[in-house]
Amino acid sequence: MSAEYQVHGDVAVITLANPPVNGLGLATRQGIVDGLRRAQQDAEVTAIVLTGAGGAFSGGADIKEFGSDKSLQEPNLLSVIAAIEASPKPVVAAIHSVCMGGGLELALGCHYRIAAPGCNVALPEVKLGLLPGAGGTQRLPRVVGVEVALNMIVSGEAVKSDMLGALPGQKLFDKMVASPEALAQEALAYARSVAGTRPLPLVRNLPCKHPEGDAYFQFARNMVKGMSKNYPAPAKCVDAVEAATKRKFADGMAVERELFINLMWTAESRALRHLFLAERAASKIPDVPSDTPKREIKSVGVIGAGTMGGGIAMNFLNAGIPVKMLEMKQEALDRGLATIRKNYEAQVKKGKLKQDKYEQRMSLLSTTLDYADLKEVDLVIEAVFEEIGVKEAVFKQLDAVCKQGAILASNTSTLDVDKIAAFTKRPQDVVGMHFFSPANVMKLLEVVRGKQTAKDVLATVMQLAKKIKKTAVVSGVCDGFIGNRMIERYSQQAGFLLDEGATPQQVDKALEKFGMAMGPFRMGDLAGNDIGWAIRKRRALEQPDMKYSRTADKLCELGRYGQKTGAGWYDYQPGKRDAIPSALVNQMIEDHRKELGITPRKISDEEIVQRLVYALVNEGAHILEDGIASKSGDIDMVYLTGYGFPIYRGGPMHYAGEQGLFNVVQAMDRFAQNPRDDQAFWQPAPLLAKLAAEGKHFS
Ligand code: NAD
């Protein structure tokens, strides 16, 4: 039973006890109903207090029941609330710490509410593409007013109980207590004070109106439309709250129910729920239990103060962890330091960072030219040139000076982490920490697990990632790890499309319409086309039979590396980032087609999107087969947080499932017929073929 029942003289106390946040799972719901029954049967009891144990009143739905029928099993939340409303003895919700989602809906069903200050109050369902489905849209406007309620429901953001308690005319909290510590006693006293009140007040009986009515809801609709283009839920929240103001309570509840069920079936909500679960699952590594002891990271060393080193250092400074940065020359240190300052100063100018916070962060940063200064740090992250010889020199030095137990990490994007580990006598302490550029901004961190990386090293790095607010995903060692290994296939397809008749603009537009933050060619110009060029040159030696379009090489031969050289697939004006279609590049593409003897054909946007996205999917399936990623949700997290894949599509692997893997394989068969394409690549990965045949998804 996940709710406790105690009697304090004439007051029964039902305490939700389902750690960590008293999620309203089946056992907890059953516990509430049982507690109510016992309280009714006990003639001594005159009033009931409902509260939560530990650090929450209730955080709402139980994640463990997510997407399963268990959340609907009786007593479901609506039935629990009905039982509370029907209780002949008053039920007082004693609210503290966290009161969210179903937790708030439960409290709104109680006859009275008494709250502690500092409690986070929210209806966050919209963040999962849903709306509150147990009366939240009908009851909240009745107690805090239509506008406050709608803002909370549409944004999903938490508001402090003190702020809500101070709203003029609010009926959410019948009483605010002075401190969380005083809540239990005050709740008992309050329950006694209302024990004899009849009839008992119900939120559902309160009036609900907006003085401007239609005009206000029209305004709200316009606002929501502009802000949430690809998400249907916010507009439905407006509909539900409007129903609260225009219909009888029971009819409003029916509207809420219908809208809720419809939203449950949208692809957007499925994607958001997938993301919610995948994000939590990503931090769990199958063979590394969550109670694995962690090493303490109180200070960090960063080798190399270039593009990546500076950004990496900022992550730790922001989290209050001191950083020592090492370079070969003082000038390089000065340059790196100046860039970090410039980044922080820009934040100060924009009002995003207070001056004293900026100074505090800078005070945590020190620099050195001497490896001996790194002998006390708990973690070192290397971000020097991408050359194995340079990495070797650095790791040998680190091995010589760093204390026992220090974690030695490399930010390499392409080199073999096992090889790097072998430069030391402590390969168990070596791990890859692959940040994405700009490292102080991008959420993704690929944690590269070497053959010998110790479990406690992995557990430590995963925990640290949370501290620096990154989404960490574990990848095995392979060329390109998860993200770049897949993107190579995506770029390969983009190249073939140019040869066959598309322009960079058409390809970019199609992908951007699909929802990618940037099409492949704009992305190439931003990251630097020379990076892919270097990889293709290496590939030509290692895998000579892999097919590529030569257009990207030709572009690089012209020195058009992208924004950094002022020209790439597009032209750029000095100091600006707007991509201007380039007549020269389009001519180059046409000339190349002629050389190949290709008559250009009209290619549909649908084909463009399918070829690029399914290229990601097939390589993703190989990555799963090879054990480089342990679950498909990890691959989705990489693409959602590091590559601008649209959130509302849930990542490439989830998206493939939405399309139906059978259909994905059919499309791949069609692409394999195209003589210009890489027929070998379009052989579905065995895992993909098997799942498609079984009618299953990746997750
Ligand atoms: P960069 O050229 O901007 O910076 C490298 C810095 O390392 C330079 O300041 C250089 O002076 C310093 N350095 C070189 N050898 C050194 C040594 N022996 N000791 C101390 N300092 C030394 O390069 P970057 O873009 O920051 O890349 C660094 C690493 O990060 C590479 O391994 C790269 O593959 C990886 N990476 C880069 C990106 C990116 O987008 N730039 C993204 C992810 C990972």
Q: Is 412 in the pocket of ligand 1 (CB under 6 A)?
A: yes
**Ligand 1 within 6 A of CB of 393:** yes
From 384, 387, 440, 443, mutation site for ligand 1 pocket: most ligand atoms within 8 A of C-beta: 384
In this prediction, what percent of the chain has a pLDDT beyond 70? 100
pLDDT of residue 546: 82
Catalytic residue among 65, 125, 279, 557: 125
Is 80 exceeded by the pLDDT of residue 67? no
CB-ligand 1 contact for 540 (6 Å cutoff) = no
| Mean pLDDT across 193-197 | 97
Q: What is the largest CA-CA distance in the chain?
A: 94
Ligand 1 midpoint to CA 640 (Å)? 25
Q: Would the CB of 383 count as within 6 Å of ligand 1?
A: yes
pLDDT score of 63: 83
Residue 615's pLDDT is 98
Q: Whose CA is nearest to atom 14 of ligand 1?
A: 384
The confidence score (pLDDT) of residue 575 equals 87
384 lines ligand 1 (CB under 6 A): yes
Q: Which residues pair with 11 in a beta bridge?
A: 8, 47
Confirm or reject: Cβ of 328 under 6 Å from ligand 1: yes
Tell me the CA–centroid distance for residue 194 and ligand 1, in Å.
68
682-691 pLDDT, tens digit each = 999 999 999 9
Percent of the chain at pLDDT exceeding 90: 94
Residue with tokens 């692409």: 671
User: How far out from the chain centre does Cα 564 lie?
Assistant: 30
Atom 15 of ligand 1: nearest residue by CA position:
384
Quickly count: other Cβ atoms within 10 Å of residue 348's Cβ: 14
Residue 474 has pLDDT above 90, yes or no: yes
Token pair in block for residue 445: 């961190």
Question: In which element (H, E) is residue 331 found?
Answer: helix 330-349
Q: Which of 607, 651, 671 is closest to 516 using CA atoms?
A: 651
Predicted local confidence at residue 545, as pLDDT = 82
Q: Residue 457: CB partners within 8 Å, gap ≥ 6?
A: 295, 407, 428, 429, 431
Domains of the chain: 3-264 (3.90.226.10), 300-475 (3.40.50.720), 483-694 (1.10.1040.50)
Q: Quick one: which of 411, 443, 414 has its CA closest to 430? A: 411
Our answer on whether the CB atom of 332 is closer than 6 Å to any ligand 1 atom is: yes
Contacts of 56 (CB under 8 A, 6+ apart): 20, 21, 22, 96, 97, 98, 99, 103
The one-letter code for the residue type at 9 is G
Q: Which atom of ligand 1 is nearest to the CA of 309?
A: 26
Which tokens hold the place of 558? 């012209």
Sign of the Cα torsion 337, 338, 339, 340 reads positive
97: alpha, beta or left, given left = phi > 0 and alpha = psi -120 to 50? left
Distance CA 164, CA 108 (A): 14
- DSSP state for residue 518 in the 8-state scheme: S
Cis amide bond preceding 684, omega within 30: no
Atom 44 in ligand 1: residue holding the nearest Cα: 413
CA distances, 256 to each of 249, 259, 260, 618 (Å)? 10, 5, 6, 40
Query: What is the Cα–Cα distance from 121 to 105, expressed in whole angstroms?
Result: 11
Q: Is the CB of 386 under 6 A from ligand 1?
A: yes
Dump pLDDT digits (tens) for 641-657.
999 999 999 999 999 99
Given a contact cutoff of 8 angstroms between Cβ atoms, the answer to whether 372 and 397 are in contact is no
The residue nearest atom 29 of ligand 1, judged by CA position, is 383
Mean pLDDT throughout 344-359?
A: 96
Residue recorded with tokens 């799963």? 624
368 lines ligand 1 (CB under 6 A): no
Give the model's confidence band at 453: pLDDT under 50 very low, under 70 low, under 90 confident, else very high: very high
For the record, the structure tokens of 463 come out as 């925990």
Q: Which of 330, 337, 413 to mutate to test the pocket of ligand 1 (most atoms within 8 A of CB)?
A: 413
Q: Is the CB of 394 under 6 A from ligand 1?
A: yes
Q: Which atom of ligand 1 is nearest to the CA of 412?
A: 32
Distance 367 CA to ligand 1 centre (A): 16
pTM: 0.94
Atom of ligand 1 nearest to the CA of 528: 40
Catalytic: 557? no
Of residues 105, 242, 382, 607, which has the active-site annotation?
105
Question: Which of 679, 504, 535 shows the shortest CA–CA distance to 608?
Answer: 504
Residue of minimum CA distance from atom 25 in ligand 1: 307
Which ligand 1 atom is at minimum distance from the Cα of 435?
43
DSSP letter for 14, please.
E
Residue given tokens 């962890």 in the structure block? 321
Q: Is 644 left (phi over 0), alpha (psi -120 to 50) or beta?
A: left
Overall average pLDDT of the 48-67 stretch: 92
Separation of CA 46 from chain center: 47
User: Residues 551-569: what's their mean pLDDT?
Assistant: 96
Say how many Å lie between the CA of residue 427 and the centre of ligand 1.
22
Once rounded to an integer, what is the mean pLDDT over residues 620-635?
A: 98
For the Cβ of 304 lying below 6 angstroms from any atom of ligand 1, the answer is yes
Catalytic annotation present for 512: no
Q: Residue 553: helix, strand or coil by DSSP?
A: helix
* pLDDT tens figures, 79-110: 999 999 999 999 999 999 999 999 999 999 99
Protein residue with least CA distance to atom 40, ligand 1: 437
For the stretch 663-689, pLDDT in tens is 999 999 999 999 999 999 999 999 999
Q: What is the pLDDT of residues 142-179, one digit of tens each?
A: 999 999 999 999 999 999 999 999 999 999 999 999 99
Mutate which of 328, 369, 385, 643 to test ligand 1's pocket (most atoms within 8 Å of Cβ)?
A: 385
Binned at pLDDT 50, 70 and 90, residue 273 comes out as: very high
Q: How far is the CA of 463 from the centre of ligand 1 (A)?
A: 25
Phi, psi of 567 (to 5 degrees): -160, 140
The residues near 529 (Cβ < 8 Å, ≥ 6 apart) are 552, 555, 556, 560, 561, 562, 568, 569
Find the DSSP H helices in 597-660.
605-625, 632-642, 652-659
Residue 1 banded pLDDT, cuts 50, 70, 90:
low
> 139 vs 65, which has greater pLDDT?
139
